[in-house]
């Protein structure tokens, strides 16, 4: 069954998304700065790529993995594409890998910038910001003198003569300590180096050598950017699973992030009924997940598990297993990423459960009208008080639930004398901004409102595009074009809920407007009395008290006022 774009509930966070079949085959992997917005774009009327309609039709559901930032999403996307080789990613021609920083395993180790590091080298990366990675190598060579190439000359290379290499081929003393210091910086302990560079930058600024200070500032920025410790790829987890947990009430979710050879391979999620004991819930999922597969060498958990679970995992692995609750470093970041994804999935699962009752109401309403679905309803209502503060509002319902981000309020702009013409104006303004038509437009009103809507759609040539109905409060009667009225029973509870919600929303907006008017200067609310005329009037009468004591004749004699406006002023003041 194809993916229903309206039912997706993805987070507004960076990460990767995977279009999948029911058998968990990955059809497509993509990255996003905002997962919710990016995936929704696949279901627009005009997709930006020709393959999208076919992909949406072929996929059964969409999964996501949340990352800390878009850079991590970019690298995770590349790793997952290489692993799964999805059908709809096969047209990607650029399979160029991202670069690494490597320290070779030689008598005098070298630092390398490479896309294909030696197998026995220590590596860091990959780094999506190529320029920053290169600048970090330059800083490390400048500060420590670690070599970057073989030197076969008797007098050493140019780098040695200009101070970028300590020349271990000529004098090896102290070089192992240099390599150790560089490795420490690349492992994230860059505090001493950054403090040293900070002092150099301050000294350069005091000497007014601002160009040199700016270069050092850029070096510091490059170190921070490159050594931000990407979670997606790390030499610290070669065979490791990170377990995340979250719950909403009794809806719990456990997420297992799989990493192999330093790279996140994917995730599995398990929903469960959570009874309050986190250790028990996690143990339940671990026993199910690893019953059919070998546990990894390292297991990262949000909380300790019992001794019997540790013993069982060791037996399943048939060897030693390291179980950790990490508090700091890259392993802690990986486990926190698993927790974050569990939290997102738990929220989605809880929403699905709470939404089932509302979906039944939407299905009942559709059956009552003989429609295939009523998953998207927009309802309009109006409010005014003796012709003042004339406003309208619309509310939206998706799958029987209020969709607050699509609630709208309107101030009536024309001199429409009654509710019908006010509502016509508001609906026409809504139509002109709307891109997708709802399954039903519902009006708070009766047959006269229905006729108004018919005339409006005829004028806009949209009679065949929009389905509409009107709900009268008397006996909760639903009116539809060319159909007999329906007195609603329980099956029509969604219509009543939408109408009541629109009524509540427009009245709240109306009260706010009235409260604002009550504390406003009465003169500022006189129709036709603009700011310039008001200033002229104040000058003519010497202030507001003079205006309040003036007669209509006095006001009419003032510049630019006239008899009609004078009468309006008198009405508003008294």
274 and 384 belong to one structural domain: no
* Residue finishing a domain among 469, 490, 515: 515
Residue 152 has pLDDT above 70, yes or no: no
76 and 31 belong to one structural domain: yes
Report the C-alpha gap between 136 and 131 in whole angstroms. Answer: 9
Report the C-alpha gap between 306 and 283 in whole angstroms. Answer: 8
* Residue finishing a domain among 226, 258, 285: 226
Number of domains making up the chain? 5
279 and 404 belong to one structural domain: no
Confidence tier at 379 by pLDDT (50, 70, 90): very high
Report the C-alpha gap between 123 and 121 in whole angstroms. Answer: 6
The residue behind tokens 């995992």 is 313
The residue behind tokens 């900070």 is 198
499 and 387 belong to one structural domain: yes
Strand partners, 126: none
- DSSP letter for each residue of 423-438: HHHHHHHHHHH-SS--
Confidence tier at 244 by pLDDT (50, 70, 90): very high
In this structure, is residue 365 part of a structural domain? no
**Tokens standing for 59?**
């996929």
Please report, in angstroms and rounded to a whole number, the separation of the first and last CA atoms in the chain.
68
24 and 70 belong to one structural domain: yes
55 and 130 belong to one structural domain: no
393 and 457 belong to one structural domain: yes
In this structure, is residue 364 part of a structural domain? no
User: Helix or strand or coil: residue 6?
Assistant: helix
Residue 256: which CATH number? 3.30.420.10
Report the C-alpha gap between 416 and 413 in whole angstroms. Answer: 8
List CB contacts of 194: < 8 A, sequence separation 6 or more.
Answer: 220, 223, 224
- The parent domain of residue 460 ranges over 376-515
208 and 127 belong to one structural domain: yes
In this structure, is residue 296 part of a structural domain? yes
Which pLDDT score, from 0 to 100, does residue 189 have?
63
In this structure, is residue 202 part of a structural domain? yes
In this structure, is residue 359 part of a structural domain? no
pLDDT tens readout for residues 73-127 = 877 887 788 778 888 875 443 445 567 788 898 888 888 888 777 877 887 766 7
314 and 428 belong to one structural domain: no
Q: What is the pTM of this model?
A: 0.42
- DSSP letter for each residue of 221-264: HHHHHHTS--SSB-TT-SEEEEEEEEEETTEEEEEEEEEETTEE
In whole angstroms, what separates CA 117 from the centre of its chain?
Answer: 35
pLDDT tens readout for residues 421-464 = 999 999 999 999 887 899 999 999 999 999 999 999 999 999 88
Which comes out higher in pLDDT, residue 271 or 446?
Answer: 446
**Tokens standing for 242?**
């990170």
Q: What angle do CA 150, 153, 158 make, to 5 degrees?
A: 75
329 and 382 belong to one structural domain: no
Among residues 467, 471, 468, 499, the alpha carbon closest in space to that of 486 is found at 471
Residue 445: which CATH number? 3.30.420.340
Report the C-alpha gap between 375 and 478 in whole angstroms. Answer: 18
**Tokens standing for 248?**
């909403």
In this structure, is residue 361 part of a structural domain? no
Residue 542: which CATH number? 1.10.150.20
In this structure, is residue 355 part of a structural domain? no
Among residues 228, 235, 264, 239, the alpha carbon closest in space to that of 337 is found at 264
In this structure, is residue 420 part of a structural domain? yes
482 and 399 belong to one structural domain: yes
Among 168-182, 378-392, 416-430, 447-461, the minimum mean pLDDT is found in 168-182
Strands 298-300 and 239-248: parallel
Report the C-alpha gap between 7 and 17 in whole angstroms. Answer: 15
440 and 499 belong to one structural domain: yes
* Residue finishing a domain among 515, 535, 551: 515
């Amino acid at each position: 069954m194809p993916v229903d774009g309206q039912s997706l509930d993805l987070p507004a966070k960076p990460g990767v998304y995977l279009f999948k079949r029911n058998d968990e085959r990955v059809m497509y992997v993509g990255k996003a700065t905002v997962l919710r917005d990016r995936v929704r774009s696949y279901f627009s009327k005009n997709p930006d790529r020709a393959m999208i309609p076919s992909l949406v039709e072929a996929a059964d559901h969409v999964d996501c993995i949340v990352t800390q930032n878009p850079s991590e999403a970019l690298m995770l996307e590349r790793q997952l594409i290489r692993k799964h080789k999805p059908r709809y990613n096969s047209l990607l021609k650029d399979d160029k890998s991202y670069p690494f920083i490597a320290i070779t395993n030689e008598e005098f180790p070298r630092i390398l910038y490479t896309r294909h590091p030696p197998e026995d080298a220590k590596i860091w990366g990959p780094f999506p910001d190529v320029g920053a990675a290169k600048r970090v190598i330059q800083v490390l060579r400048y500060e420590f003198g670690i070599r970057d190439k073989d030197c076969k000359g008797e007098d050493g290379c140019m780098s040695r003569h200009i101070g970028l290499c300590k020349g271990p081929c000529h004098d090896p003393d102290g070089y192992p300590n240099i390599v150790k210091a560089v490795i420490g910086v690349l492992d994230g302990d860059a505090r001493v180096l950054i403090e040293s560079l900070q002092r150099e930058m301050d000294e350069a600024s005091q000497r007014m050598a601002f160009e040199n200070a700016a270069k050092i500032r850029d070096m510091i920025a490059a170190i921070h950017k490159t050594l931000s410790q990407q979670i997606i790829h790390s030499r610290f987890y070669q065979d490791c699973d990170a377990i995340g947990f979250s719950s909403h009430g009794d809806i719990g979710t456990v997420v297992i992030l799989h990493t192999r050879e330093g790279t996140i391979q994917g995730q599995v999620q398990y929903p469960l009924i959570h009874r309050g004991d986190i250790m028990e819930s996690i143990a339940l999922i671990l026993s199910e997940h690893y019953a059919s597969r070998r546990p990894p060498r390292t297991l990262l958990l949000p909380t300790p598990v019992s001794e019997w679970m540790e013993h069982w995992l060791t037996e399943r692995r048939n060897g030693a297993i390291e179980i950790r609750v990490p508090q700091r470093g890259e392993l802690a970041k990986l486990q926190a990423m698993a927790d974050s994804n569990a939290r997102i999935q738990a929220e989605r699962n809880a929403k699905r459960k709470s939404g089932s009752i509302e979906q039944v109401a939407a299905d009942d309403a559709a059956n009552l009208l003989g429609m295939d679905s009523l998953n998207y309803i927009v309802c309009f209502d109006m409010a005014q008080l003796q012709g003042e503060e004339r406003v309208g509002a619309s509310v939206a319902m998706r799958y029987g639930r209020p969709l607050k981000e699509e609630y709208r309020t309107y101030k009536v702009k024309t001199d429409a004398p009654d509710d019908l013409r006010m509502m016509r104006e508001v609906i026409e303004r809504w139509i002109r901004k709307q891109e997708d038509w709802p399954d039903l437009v519902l009006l708070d009103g009766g047959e006269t409102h229905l006729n108004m809507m018919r005339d409006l759609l005829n004028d806009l040539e949209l009679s065949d595009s929009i389905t509409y109905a009107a709900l009268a409060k008397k006996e909760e009667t639903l009116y539809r074009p060319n159909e007999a009225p329906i007195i609603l029973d329980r099956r029509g509870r969604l219509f009543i809920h939408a109408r009541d919600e629109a009524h509540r929303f427009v009245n709240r907006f109306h009260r706010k407007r009235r409260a604002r008017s009550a504390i406003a200067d009465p003169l500022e609310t006189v129709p036709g009395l603009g700011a310039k005329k008001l200033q002229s009037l104040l000058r003519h009468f010497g202030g507001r008290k003079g205006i309040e004591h003036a007669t209509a004749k006095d006001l009419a004699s003032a510049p630019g006022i006239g008899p009609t406006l004078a009468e309006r002023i008198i009405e508003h003041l008294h």
